[in-house]
Amino acid sequence: MTTVRSDPTTQLPGRPPVVDLSTWQAARDRLLVREKAHTREGDAIAAARRRLPMVEVDGTVEVVGADGPVPFLDLFRGREELVAYQHMWHDGAPHQGQCEGCTTTAWSLHDDAVYLEARGVTCAVLTTGRWEEVAPYVQFMGYTQPWYSVRDVPPPVGGSMGSLTCFLRDGDRVFLTYTTTGRGNEAAAGFFALLDMTPYGRREAWQDVPEGWPEGADPCWYWRTDVDGVPTWGPTSRPVPQWTRPGATPVDTLGRGGHHH
């Protein structure tokens, strides 16, 4: 949509209305009341989350990491708490064919792990992929947090992927305390909250936007782009974080299903 800026005092198509600073501040202050209520409700939910019961998990079950098979207990690395992202995996797919959303979430956790560990919380990534496939992917992406294959490991350590899950260690005993999926995973990706602060937000079709504003696209449309940064789910696209990796080039196939690997 092309907008002609003829009169800055009128509302422009697909743009917020233009007002003076005092009018804007009054509107901002009204919204701040709701934002503070939202923050307090979030704090109350977090307090309820801390009061959830927990379920004991077999800490001796073996997972496979860079050092070979290790008991799940070792993932805590001596700390009491563990936050694990359970990363989906497409067997036999090349790097560009792995899950876009999981790639995005795991990449967002890339630096979070430093701050988690400073608070006594270990961060790790679990996936059902075979370690011989996972290892080169981790190396290509340059992930610094440890990854482990949980193939054939029963839930809640293995099983369904695509979740953030928290565990607590008490000596040699391990407990599941919390798990979330879907939009709950947004806690690991701060860019979602930043996008929500902008006028156009995420530019997704489900958003509530004023009439006449640009139409949104399908959710997660920006998780894949081509080499020029154009969002696309076509055969030359990659998950967005992959374009930061040395040697990432346009591709010929996503490597899924009937595609050749």
For the chain, the domains span 54-183
Distance CA 99, CA 131 (A): 16
In the chain, what are the helix, strand and coil shares in percent, each to the nearest 5? 35, 20, 45
Q: What is the DSSP string of 116-137?
A: HHHTTEEEEEEESS-HHHHHHH
pLDDT score at 255: 58
pTM: 0.89
**Can you list the residues of the chain whose pLDDT is less than 50?**
1-6, 8-9, 257-261
- Tokens of residue 167, six digits: 């565990």
pLDDT score at 256: 54
CB of 14 closer than 8 Å to CB of 214: yes
Question: Shortest CA distance to 148 belongs to which of 122, 125, 121, 179?
Answer: 125
pLDDT score at 11: 55
Tell me the CATH number for domain 54-183. Answer: 3.40.30.10
